[in-house]
Amino acid sequence: MTDKFRERMADEQVRHDTRTLGDFVGIYCGGNHTDSGRLAIESDAATLGVYGRKPPVMCAECAEHLRYAEKRRAYCPKDPKPFCAHCDTHCYNPEERAWQQQMMRYSGPRSMFHGHAIDGIKHALEARKYRKQAGKPGAREEVQ
């Protein structure tokens, strides 16, 4: 773990985003990978206590994706960070980006039942604003 990572993870917003991401991956894995052995995430962020006393539970593959995402969040150069889906800096590699998109499509709507209603609503509002600015009505996954 680098000093930079440790330093960034001390920021409340970074911790919040990382915790939310962890919960999303946990929801996704819990709904799709029940055949895999699933354990509480072991990662640098978990070591720093970002996930609290009950880190999200997931399979080895999802844990690998989350560890990647933790680093991307920690090293995000934007402040305030936009939602990744609307960011013009593509810091994710294409495979990770595709994985995260399908993970979010699954977990986003379901996260409402896991105490992330506020984040979900903010996300929807920002998506709407972004589409207006970009002048392209109706992104594909939006159902009105």
In the complex with Zn ion, which residue's Cβ is closer, 46 or 76? 46
Question: What minimum distance in Å lies between the beta carbon of 115 and Zn ion?
Answer: 21
Nearer Cβ to Zn ion (9/62): 62
Residue 10 vs 39, nearer CB to Zn ion: 39
Q: Are 104 and 85 in contact (CB under 8 A)?
A: yes
Q: Which alpha helices (DSSP H) does 33-93 contain, by range?
A: 44-47, 60-74
In whole angstroms, the minimum distance from the beta carbon of 58 to Zn ion comes to 5
CA distance linking residue 97 with residue 80, whole number of Å: 20
Which has the closest alpha carbon to 139: 86, 83, 95? 86
Pick the closer one to Zn ion by CB: 45 or 56: 56
Q: Please report how close the Cβ of residue 29 comes to Zn ion at its closest, in angstroms.
A: 3
Residue 57 beta carbon to Zn ion: minimum distance, rounded to whole angstroms: 9
* C-beta closer to Zn ion: residue 33 or 110: 33
Q: Which residues bind Zn ion (CB under 5 A)?
A: 29, 33, 58-59, 62
CA 58 – CA 30 distance, rounded (Å): 7
Torsion (CA) 117, 123, 129, 134 in degrees, nearest 10: -160
Give me the residues paired with residue 40 across strands: 57
Smallest separation, CB 106 to Zn ion (Å): 11
Q: Considering all CA atoms of the chain, what is the largest pairwise distance in Å, rounded to the nearest integer?
A: 45
